[in-house]
Structure 1
Amino acid sequence: MTGQGGVIGEVDRALEELVRREVVRRSKTEVSFGAPGGERTAATVHLQLYDIREDQGRRRQGTINEYDSDGALTVRRCPPRYVRLSYLVTVWAPQPEEEHRLLDATLRAFLAQDAIPAERLTGSLADLGLPVPMAAAVPPPDDRALAAALAASGAGLRPFVNVVISAPMMPEPPTPVSPPVTKPLTLRPESHRTGGSG
């Protein structure tokens, strides 16, 4: 079942937990999903979602059949569609040295994983049981989208890490299948009315 915020919210929570456990730890550094502009007092890691598009390279055709313990077909479903969620990851700190240290730790945390760790997944992503690929420091799919995100953030020129998640989504609910016939077919003769022609 999809949790609050849907798949995007589930990815947000997984990334936030990853950053808090691997980067922030017990420091007073904050994690934000807002744009990196504006007034701040505490060091902050910004995870700004700036682009959403289908990962068409992962699209599959056909249907997926599910069976019960007796081998009977119970459900037919369409294969999952993958959505690429691109995050602009920037860091702000009062001192440039602290900023670079946090950015380095953030980059290391993302590069250490090829996918979001399974224990970080919740809701529909956990229910599907599929890997959720993650790539860091890769070229953006569209430079214009990234340029627009940077311009809109008001953060000015600062280093960033481009992080891309390919999240599986079920496009429509599964179709239940009628239970198999277990009893032999029985033919019942119809009763016919006979009438005279008079």
Structure 2
Amino acid sequence: MIADLDRTIRNLLINEMPISDGEIDIKFDQPTRDWSARLTRPTLNFYLYDVRENNTLRQQQWQRANGNGRDHLAWQKRMPYRVDCHYMMTVWAAEAEDEHRLLTRAMLALFRFPILPPEQMLGEMQGQPFEVPAALARHDRLTNPAEVWSAIDNDMRPAISYMVTLALDPWTEVSGPIVRTPILRTGQAHTLPHLPQMVQISERAFIGGVVRQDAQPQVGIEVAIKGTGYLTMTDANGRFRLGALPIGSYTLIAWPPHGKPKQTDIAIPQPSYDIDL
């Protein structure tokens, strides 16, 4: 993933500065003294000096995953980690004037994209689940550049911080049977927490199912419970959810794109609320 981020940064600069005929090298190396002595042309270098999790964007909850048409199962997945990649951008040329000119062009190109554009992304970067923010020349980054240059044993020169936040996903999808009818009971208990002693006041249920046509889940189909005002629409997997409803008998109505509405009698609870158009 980080290697594809390097390729994306290079691609963005080549297209935006622009750079033609290889007149400028773009590298991602540690800028040591020996390294800089071997340079033969003007060079933009992005040294990745730190990678750490972004705690501000951390999310621990689960998210629904696409079951790829397997609508008899519920699929979930943990949220990916958000990671900050810290680069030190430097410019190398024979003359200071050329360095400053190249540094300005690079900064102008990167400032134009506080969010990396999807059309410029390469490799695994194309599958990022979130926008990819990029922050250039932040005042709270590289606060003591002299220490960095001392550590890599090279002469000090202008160094610009560049931070890109990636999503890294180490998780796999997990599945389980779909819950068709969760029931919510409310009441009063004389001596909590003993549930058997509760005097029941009401019992309501949520129902869910899949709308299909020719065995294929249907997206964007309106589904309602006749005479109740409950109305919803199927999601990308053809699923719908309605409630909360008192236990009893009802009529489900689904409106296909063409033709008459399909009515299905149901009794809550029951094993399935699927609708075939």
With normalisation by structure 1, the TM-score equals 0.77
Structure 2's unaligned 5+ residue stretches are 181-208, 210-269, 272-277
Q: Larger % of strand: which?
A: 2
Whether 2:124 is the aligned partner of 1:128: answer no
**How do residues 116-195 of structure 1 correspond to structure 2 at under 5 angstroms?**
116-141=116-141, 143=143, 147-178=146-177
Checking the alignment, whether the CA contact within 8 Å between 2:136 and 2:161 is kept in structure 1 is yes
Counterparts of 1:47 and 1:111, CA distance in 2? 15
Residue 21 of structure 1 is matched in structure 2 by 15
Partner secondary structure for residue 76 of structure 1: strand
Alpha carbons of 1:17 and 1:42: their partners in 2 closer, same or farther (altered >3 Å)? same
SS in 2 for 1:16: helix
When structure 1 is superposed on structure 2, of 85-94 and 117-126 the one drifting more is: 117-126
1:61 pairs with 2:56: no
Q: Distance in 2 between matches of 1:129 and 1:142?
A: 29
Cα distance between partner residues in 1 of 2:142 and 2:157: 19
Identity, % of aligned positions? 24
Give the structure 2 partner of residue 10 of structure 1. 4
2:65–2:173: 8 Å Cα contact kept in structure 1? no
* Equivalent residue letter for 1:35: Q
- Deviation at residue 143 of structure 1 after TM alignment: 4.1
CA distance, structure 1, for counterparts of residue 141 and residue 18 of structure 2: 29
RMSD of equivalent CA atoms: 2.7
TM-score (norm 2): 0.57
Amino acid at match of 1:106: A
Corresponding position: 1:31 with 2:26:
yes
Q: Which residue identity is paired with 1:31?
A: I
Gaps of 5+ in 1: 1-6, 186-198
Q: Contact 1:125 / 1:168 at 8 angstroms: preserved in 2?
A: no
Aligned to 2:202: none
Change (3 A) 1:124 1:180: farther
Query: Which digits, 9 at most, give the CA deviation of each residue in 1:97-118, with x for residues without a partner?
Result: 1100000011111111111111
Instruction: Indicate conservation of the 8 Å contact 1:50/1:149, yes or no.
Output: no
* Cα offset, 1:149, TM superposition: 3.4
Comparing 71-80 and 9-18, the one that deviates more: 71-80
**1:40-85 Cα deviation digits (max 9, x unpaired):** 2200000100001100100012100124588946421111110000
Secondary structure of 1:53's counterpart equals strand
Secondary structure of residue in 1 paired with 2:131: coil
Match in the other structure for 2:115:
115
- Deviation of 1:19 after TM superposition, in Å, equals 1.9
User: What code does the residue aligned with 1:158 have?
Assistant: R
Q: Against the structure 1 CA distance between its residues 68 and 171, is the aligned structure 2 distance closer, same or farther, given a 3 Å change threshold?
A: closer
- Distance, in Å, in 1 between the alignment partners of 2:133 and 2:9 is 12
Higher helix share: 1
Letter in 1 for 2:10: E
Change (3 A) 1:149 1:67: same
Cα distance, 1:161 vs structure 2: 1.2
Give the match's secondary structure for 1:158: coil
SS in 2 for 1:108: helix
State the alpha-carbon separation in 1 of the partners of residues 66 and 2 from structure 2: 29
Alpha-carbon offset, residue 176 of structure 1: 3.3
Whether the 8 Å contact between 1:52 and 1:86 is mirrored in structure 2 is yes
